[in-house]
Amino acid sequence: MSYHSFLLEPISCHAWNKDRTQIALCPNNHEVHIYKKDGNNWSKIHVLKEHNGQVTGIDWAPESNRIVTCGTDRNAYVWTLKGDAWKPTLVILRINRAARCVKWSPKENKFAVGSGSRLISVCYFEKDNDWWVCKHIKKPIRSTILCLDWHPNNVLLAAGSCDFKCRIFSAYIKEVEEKPAPTAWGSKMPFGEVMFESTGTAGWVHGVCFSDSGNRVAWASHDSTVAVAEGGKTAVCASLTSETLPLLCVTFITENSLVAAGHDCYPVLFVYDSNKAALSFGGKLDVPKQSAQKGMTARERFQNLDKKATTDSKEAVLESVHKNSISQISILNGGKAQCAKFCTTGMDGGMTIWDVKTLESAMKDLKIV
């Protein structure tokens, strides 16, 4: 894996372009910086300044090469590359609280914004007026929407919220698309319909992700649990309580395996067995450097006892690659079906690119099914 430290401040959010040569990230302020890969280094090529509040979500559409950003100033902007500069277009979201997350739909003709106003704004481009228009999904959301993910059919949207529930909504916009075919989550999909609502887990839902086929959805919740639900006549839910601190982001890397990361600063693998409808812990994906165990001199021992009231020789230094919570995880190569590389960014201002093959060979018991 390769670690690159961009900043000293946390990276609020990031997004990659189609060929993974450029990354757009927010350095915990009102701007978006775009870095380009330059051999082994990263050079800043663009600075996007339009937001008046912290940028909380960035998504880069691979095919149409447009960036959508949303921030705490209750606005979203769609940026298009004109020549050598990125030009913003304001999108009126009609929200009265901060926007928290934004995602382009798979066909890139719509995007959804989750906000603190307890609603989701689904925005689409109206050709007649040459303007982005939005529709709201309000019921039955009762608190801030923290995370979103689109189903591959471009209509269903999974949303994790602070009211302790993960829901799947239909975001069908008749102006831009045809009626969708039936899916595992249901066949009637009018706009705003709740196709699935989770029960059982307590705790804010920090991260949500559809699998590649769209038949499964996984979410990570603040009560240190991860859960997977499989669509069907009756949705089957499997959850796993973990012994670690809460996880903040989760993604599928194959149809049966998930990688999640959070406040413990290292990514973790989970494996879902659909026959038993059970989720199990697959392994810690960080390879700690084996620090040489020096023998403690008597002087050091007394110093430790004096300073820290302990004779423990273990230092209070994190052994993981990231030195602070990991807040976002994104797939680089291979898609959600056969991910080969994924990337994590965190509150330590660093970005790590993880290679699935090297992880598999490095950790003996790791099996990614």
Partner 1 sequence: MSKNTVSDRFRKVDVDEYDENKFVDEEDGGENQLGPDEAEVDSLIRSGNLMGALQAVLKNPPINTKNQNVKERAEGLVLKVLSAFKTSDIEKAVQSLDKTGVDLLMKYIYRGFEKPSDNSSAILLQWHEKALSAGGVGSIVRVLTARKTV
**DSSP helix/strand/coil, 163:** coil
The DSSP output letter for 186 is: B
Separation CA 256–CA 197 (nearest Å): 21
CB of 297 to partner 1, least distance (A): 30
Position among 53, 186, 203, 334 found at the interface with partner 1 (CB under 8 A):
203
Stretch in the footprint of partner 1 (CB under 8 A) among 31-39, 97-105, 243-251, 318-326? 243-251
CA separation (Å) from 144 to 134, 203, 244? 18, 13, 24
Q: What are phi and psi of 143, to 5 degrees?
A: -160, -175
Position among 153, 161, 170, 242 found at the interface with partner 1 (CB under 8 A):
242
Separation CA 338–CA 268 (nearest Å): 17
Task: Work out whether 143 is an interface residue with partner 1 (CB under 8 A).
Answer: yes
Separation CA 147–CA 144 (nearest Å): 9
Beta bridge mates, 5: 350
Task: Work out whether 197 is an interface residue with partner 1 (CB under 8 A).
Answer: no
CB of 246 to partner 1, least distance (A): 6
Name the residue nearer to partner 1 (CB basis): 5 or 241. 241
CA nearest to 366, candidates 237, 252, 280, 255: 280
Task: Work out whether 164 is an interface residue with partner 1 (CB under 8 A).
Answer: yes
Stretch in the footprint of partner 1 (CB under 8 A) among 64-72, 222-230, 267-275, 285-293? 222-230
CA separation (Å) from 234 to 164, 179, 227? 21, 23, 16
Name the residue nearer to partner 1 (CB basis): 184 or 218. 218
CB of 163 to partner 1, least distance (A): 7
Q: What is the dihedral of CA 48, 50, 55, 57, to 10 degrees?
A: -70
**DSSP helix/strand/coil, 20:** coil
Task: Work out whether 319 is an interface residue with partner 1 (CB under 8 A).
Answer: no
Task: Work out whether 241 is an interface residue with partner 1 (CB under 8 A).
Answer: yes
Position among 31, 73, 163, 360 found at the interface with partner 1 (CB under 8 A):
163
For partner 1, how many residues bind (rule: CB under 8 A)? Answer: 17
CB of 122 to partner 1, least distance (A): 21
CA separation (Å) from 166 to 94, 229, 253, 284, 287? 23, 10, 20, 25, 32
The DSSP output letter for 362 is: H
DSSP string of 59-74?
A: EE-TTT-EEEEEETTS
**DSSP helix/strand/coil, 96:** coil
Position among 246, 282, 283, 350 found at the interface with partner 1 (CB under 8 A):
246
Stretch in the footprint of partner 1 (CB under 8 A) among 53-61, 62-70, 210-218, 221-229? 221-229
Stretch in the footprint of partner 1 (CB under 8 A) among 20-28, 96-104, 237-245, 350-358? 237-245
CB of 233 to partner 1, least distance (A): 24
Q: Looking at residues 77 to 106 of the shown chain, list those that interact with partner 1 (rule: CB under 8 A).
A: none
Residues making contact with partner 1 (CB under 8 A): 118, 142-143, 163-164, 202-203, 222-225, 241-246
